[in-house]
Structure 1
Amino acid sequence: MKKQFLFLALLMVAISYGAQAQQYKKFKVGLGLGYASASGSGASGGVLLYLEPAYRVTDAIQVGLRIETALVTRGLSQDLEDDASLDIAAIGSYTFNGQYYLKSSGFRPFVGLGFGLYSLAAIKVEGDGEAAAAESKFGVYPRIGFDAGHFQLSLDYNLIPKTKVDGLAYDEVANEFVPEKFEFKNSYIGVRIGVAIGGGKK
């Protein structure tokens, strides 16, 4: 009888704790836009758009899917010639992520990590002739940010391997073009502002 009473008491405590811990709705969808900052010689930033459905495992832990498109000019590892310019090229990504909230209510900062597939559009160096074909690469991103009600702000550092290209460079000593390896930098920082549909307090 005592064991049954103890088990019942523990069960009630667990139910009470679970109800208390789950004060936020399970599902939400984040959407918004932001600024993407690329790196390398000749690089420039651009706009990004994202959609991010997510599921709250607990109030502190969230997992989600990020669908994002960033329009940036990816730079070269080498110095760009004065008369050369780079095309704007889209980077699409389909990634999974998880984040941990450091506060339980109000202003809620979080840290997180994501990974997945990045689809890189073809890019060309106007004036030099170097080009990289469209391709897909696996990448990861640490993230920080905060939720304030249904308002969201986050910063993701998208780490994507470089694209290596065989090209030609002019050798002033030999007075001719010689083979040279070029690298396009694909990583970018994304600052994202948006709103969350759903996911509020129960």
Structure 2
Amino acid sequence: MTFDLTILAPHIPFLVKGAVLTAEACVLALAGSLCIGTVVAALVTSASPLLSRIAYVYVDLFRNIPFIVQLFFFFYGLPEIGIYIDAFTTGVIALSIAGGAFTSDVIRSGILSIDPGILEAAEVSGLSKPTIFRKIVMPIALRTSVRPLGSVFVNLILTSSILSTITLNELTGSAKIVASDTFRPFEIYAVLLVAYACLTYLVSLAIGALHRYLNRDQTEAA
């Protein structure tokens, strides 16, 4: 068998459309998981035992259930009780909730790593706890958590390929359709491998650049 990429030419617009759909879903899911993770991390580290326990249950639950099971529950299970959500929205919600569980762990670690002396100084200066959390705790926690958050986000991008199982023609779903139409799965999936590798590599580079920018004062001091 000869390796022939020319067979892709007629299908490039369709594949590009799938890639754009993947990008849209991932951007929304990254934002959603960051928001959810931040709230859950705040609850886990809060002084309220009840809120902390609820947050821990959420994290343990969604970290220990396969993503595809969560996805099928939202897409195929909820309609049985009258809740209908389109495939794209379902994918974004499922990715956000699953990613939020892992993101919360990273942010929680960032919060716990903050020097208690900084918080004590802020309290002595008369700042309220909400102000301290918003203006001191979260900026420091997010800055120190950039690299591990990057790993979570890369994994979320890779996990988005599973959205093809709920009829969403994102990049992987589009590639499956093209492979079945052309009967040339080797070329199609070889290109898909390269596409995901390039995408995650670019995201890793961006995360590294963001980490260096946010921690530039520490680098200069060293």
TM-score of Structure 1 vs Structure 2, range by shorter chain? under 0.3
Higher share of residues assigned strand: 1
Q: Which has the higher contact order (CA 8 A, sep 6+)?
A: 2
Structure number with bigger Rg: 1
- Tell me the TM-score normalized by structure 1: 0.27
